[in-house]
Amino acid sequence: MTPFNLTQFYADWATILPECFLLLWACVITGAAVLGRTDESKSGTFAIWTIIGTLATAVWVAVTQDGAAFGGTFVFDRLAVVFKEVILAGVILTAAASVGTVSRLRAHRGEYYGMILFSAVGMMLMVSATELLTLYIALELSTVTLFVLAAYHKTNRKSAEAGLKYVILGGISSAILLYGVAILYGLTGTTELARISQGIQRQFMASGSFPPGLALALLLILAGFGFKLALAPFHMWAPDVYEGAPTPITAFLSVASKAAALAAFLRVFFVGGQPAQLIWIQAIAALAALAMIVGNATAIVQTNIKRMLAYSSVAQIGYMLVGAVALDPWGATSISYYAMAYLFANMGAFVCVIAFAERTGSEEISDFSGLSRRSPILAGFFALFLLSLAGVPPTAGFLAKYYVFAAAIQKGYLWLVLVGVATSVVALYYYATVIMKMYFPAEQTEGGFPVARTLTIVLAVSALGVLLLGILPGPVVDWIKAAAQSFVPPT
């Protein structure tokens, strides 16, 4: 045991200052709400300022601290910075988009924001964890509060059921993940990703083959992440939970929680599993293809817009993982860029659904008919986000798809890219159907409606993100690429 070192102690805690800051205010907001000392609009404003403060602290830490803390189990490297900012952007947009939903809650309004912040703490810790044990606990921290958020309309059957389903599937996935971690620990005697990688390599050198059970361990971990990412065939919980949960939470689940899981996935497989790539890379290619096919094929037949977006996000994760088969800095860059493009487009699309449902009370696709007359702004935003999800230039979605496909082709995965392109055409069909309905309705529907001010701001920010990333990707791509190069070991 190393002797206690005060300087090291301060340096360690300074590195996790953003999380501490966020946690402190999460406790204050929740505590004030539990004691009934505040109304919900204040909680919401506090939550947003808290996240802005966290962003500022994160920038300060990124500039001043050297990155690793607690013996290297927690790192604040460039990858962590990229994904923390994606997550915090997702949290800000979610909190701002929740204002209307929260004001209609019958109880526990202030705690709602507290729960979101707690979950955000878990996600931020998750993207920084380089040790499986820390990763597992951080993942649990982020999901335990998400369970409750999914069930937040607890007097609504669909929402309560969504919470229960999410608890069950979340529990199963974390148990599967843990079993994989346990086998990996047995094989290598450690839970630190870098040492796991060394251990695997050493055993491979010694015997010329991978240790038995390694494939099983990696597949179990992959399945555990598959559940969190709603990757086919582990996606069966997603449509029900997405449909039943309050819509801002659906957006949060589909954006921030997936970004965190994706970052953890990148670390585990690109760093820890890197020597064993022969084992898992084919599995990931197959899962990505399956997700693209199943997600898009099922999305076509949906009549509820939230279910359609749920299946479409299953497919989107498939596209992201196409970049993973490259297993080089460029692959990691394409995935991260895709995650960012997806953040703005998907968040924007769900906020459009919120704005629409707030005024009309409906989430059916057929009711979007004629939206361009009733609310031209909303229809315009929604069309933009759907086009970005479909991958039409000049939106961010187009470049994102281009990057992941280019990364996969470099490594010779032509078949996977062909599947991707073919399913993109299918996807374009159902996204375009919605747009056609909005702009060229069969019969006229009456009654224009305005969009709430905060929602308009969220929509504008998301639209700006989608367009800026699509038109001026240069600086962002350079930034992400530097991050990817810093953590992917040279092959």
Partner 1 sequence: MNALPVPLGNYIILSGILFSLGVIGVLTARNAIVILMSIELMLNAANLLLVVFARVHGDLGGQVMVFFVLTVAAAEAAVGLAILVAVFRLKGSVDVDRLNILKG
Partner 2 sequence: MADQFIFWVAAIVAIIAAIRVVILKNAVLSVLHLIVTLIALAVLFLQLSAEFIAALQIIVYAGAIMVLFLFIVMLLNLRKDEFGRDQLPWLRLLGTLAGAAFLAELISLIGGGRVMAATVPDGFGSVRSIGIALFGEYMFPFELTSLLLVAAVLAAVVVARRKSSNEVDAAPPAGSEGEA
Q: Which of 11, 14, 20, 164: binder of partner 1 (CB under 8 A)?
A: 164
Residue 147 found at the interface with partner 1 (CB under 8 A) = yes
Contact set for partner 1, span 402-421 (CB under 8 A): none
| DSSP structure string for 9-51 | HHHHHHHTHHHHHHHHHHHHHHHHHHTT-S-HHHHHHHHHHHH
Diameter of the chain by CA atoms? 77
Q: Which of 42, 108, 158, 195: binder of partner 2 (CB under 8 A)?
A: 108
Q: What share of the chain is helix, strand, coil (3-state, %, to 5)?
A: 80, 0, 20
Least gap, CB of 167 to partner 1 (angstroms): 4
Q: Which is nearer to partner 2, 174 or 433 (CB)?
A: 174
Residue 224 found at the interface with partner 2 (CB under 8 A) = no
Q: Which does 73 bind (CB under 5 to 8 A by kind): partner 2, partner 1, none?
A: partner 2
Q: Which of 21, 25, 46, 74: binder of partner 2 (CB under 8 A)?
A: 74
Dist CA 16 CA 125 (whole Å): 8
Residue 125 found at the interface with partner 2 (CB under 8 A) = yes
Q: Which does 185 bind (CB under 5 to 8 A by kind): partner 1, partner 2, none?
A: partner 1
Q: Which of 11, 24, 27, 426: binder of partner 2 (CB under 8 A)?
A: 27
Burial class (CB in 10 A: 0-12, 13-18, 19+), 5: exposed
What the block records as the tokens of 298 is 């099922």
Between the alpha carbon of residue 297 and those of residues 115, 156, 301, the distances in Å are 34, 30, 8
Dist CA 387 CA 403 (whole Å): 17
Half-sphere exposure of 376 (CA within 13 A, CB side): 1
Q: Which is nearer to partner 2, 98 or 423 (CB)?
A: 98
Name the DSSP letter for residue 76: -
Ranges of H-type helices in 361-375: 371-374
Q: Which is nearer to partner 1, 179 or 402 (CB)?
A: 179
Contact set for partner 1, span 221-240 (CB under 8 A): 236, 239-240
Q: Which of 85, 111, 243, 363: binder of partner 2 (CB under 8 A)?
A: 111
Residue 202 found at the interface with partner 1 (CB under 8 A) = no
Residue 2 found at the interface with partner 1 (CB under 8 A) = no
Size of the site for partner 2 (CB under 8 A): 41
Q: Which is nearer to partner 2, 23 or 229 (CB)?
A: 23
Residue 144 found at the interface with partner 1 (CB under 8 A) = yes
Q: Which of 288, 399, 406 is nearest to 337 (CA)?
A: 399
Residue 194 found at the interface with partner 1 (CB under 8 A) = no
Residue 163 found at the interface with partner 2 (CB under 8 A) = yes
Q: Which is nearer to partner 2, 82 or 105 (CB)?
A: 105
- 455 Cβ contact partners less than 8 Å away, ≥ 6 residues apart: 96, 97, 99, 100, 351, 354, 355, 358
Contact set for partner 2, span 271-290 (CB under 8 A): none
| DSSP structure string for 387-454 | HHHHT-TTSHHHHHHHHHHHHHHHTT-HHHHHHHHHHHHHHHHHHHHHHHHHHS-SS---------HH
263, 127 Cβ separation under 8 angstroms = yes
Least gap, CB of 184 to partner 1 (angstroms): 10
Q: Which is nearer to partner 1, 185 or 210 (CB)?
A: 185
Size of the site for partner 1 (CB under 8 A): 38
Between the alpha carbon of residue 439 and those of residues 306, 315, 378, 405, 467, the distances in Å are 20, 25, 12, 31, 21
Name the DSSP letter for residue 232: T
How many residues does the structure list for the chain?
Answer: 491
Dist CA 363 CA 357 (whole Å): 6
Q: Which of 190, 203, 445, 454: binder of partner 1 (CB under 8 A)?
A: 190
Task: Tell me, rounded to whole angstroms, the distance of Cα 318 from its chain centroid.
Answer: 13
Stretch that binds partner 2, among 146-154, 231-239, 303-311, 428-436 (CB under 8 A): 146-154
Least gap, CB of 155 to partner 1 (angstroms): 7
Residue 108 found at the interface with partner 1 (CB under 8 A) = no
Residue 154 found at the interface with partner 2 (CB under 8 A) = yes
Which residues contact partner 2 by CB under 8 A?
1-2, 12, 23, 27, 30, 34, 36, 69-71, 73-74, 106-108, 111, 114-115, 118, 121-122, 125, 131, 133-134, 137-138, 140-141, 144-145, 147-148, 151, 154, 163, 183, 212-213, 216
Which residues contact partner 1 by CB under 8 A?
133, 136-137, 140, 144, 147-148, 151, 154-155, 157, 160-161, 163-165, 167-168, 170-172, 174-176, 178-179, 181-183, 185-186, 189-191, 236, 239-240, 298
